[in-house]
Amino acid sequence: MSRAWVVWLGCALWVASSPAPADGYFKCETPQGVEYADAPCAGDAQRRDFPNHDEQEQRRAEQQRFAACFRPSRSFEPGDKASDLAELCGTPRRVRRLATVRGAEERWEYRQGQGAAFVWVEDGIITAIRD
């Protein structure tokens, strides 16, 4: 037998002997932090199922919504409807109304951690965004 064939056979046997993925996992709190295991840990850890396709899609949509609200300039631009932003991200934390030469303008503030995103709105239309 050639050496390459022996290596290939060894790899195939190793893969075949590896355990099948579990139906779920345990989330264990340890002094070093959180660990995930396929066997029960000390204490009262509950078995958690792996997310199914619908749960994964729901989580992905929530992450995209959070990203759009965290950085509105990546999903919205001047000329878009402010109502679309409000529908996606909810009501702003603060709305400041300003009088301008052209009329009334609003500055919407969305908080993200230590910073804030500001969206300027005039007559229901986004005029500027600063993340």
Percent over 90 (pLDDT), the chain: 24
Tokens at residue 34, please?
């959180």
In which residue ranges of the chain is CATH 3.30.1450.10 found? Answer: 73-130
Binned at pLDDT 50, 70 and 90, residue 22 comes out as: very low
Question: What CATH code would you report for 73-130?
Answer: 3.30.1450.10
0.75 exceeded by pTM: no
C-alpha to C-alpha distances, 63 to 26, 68, 105, nearest whole angstrom: 24, 9, 30
Rg of the chain (C-alpha set): 26
CA diameter of the chain = 87
Q: Is 39 exposed, middle or buried (0-12, 13-18, 19+ CB in 10 A)?
A: exposed
Where is pLDDT greater, at 129 or 17?
129
Residues 45-101: tens digit of each pLDDT: 566 666 677 778 888 888 877 777 888 888 899 999 999 999 988 889 999 998 888
CB 109 within 8 A of CB 92: yes
Q: What pLDDT is stored for residue 24 in this prediction?
A: 67
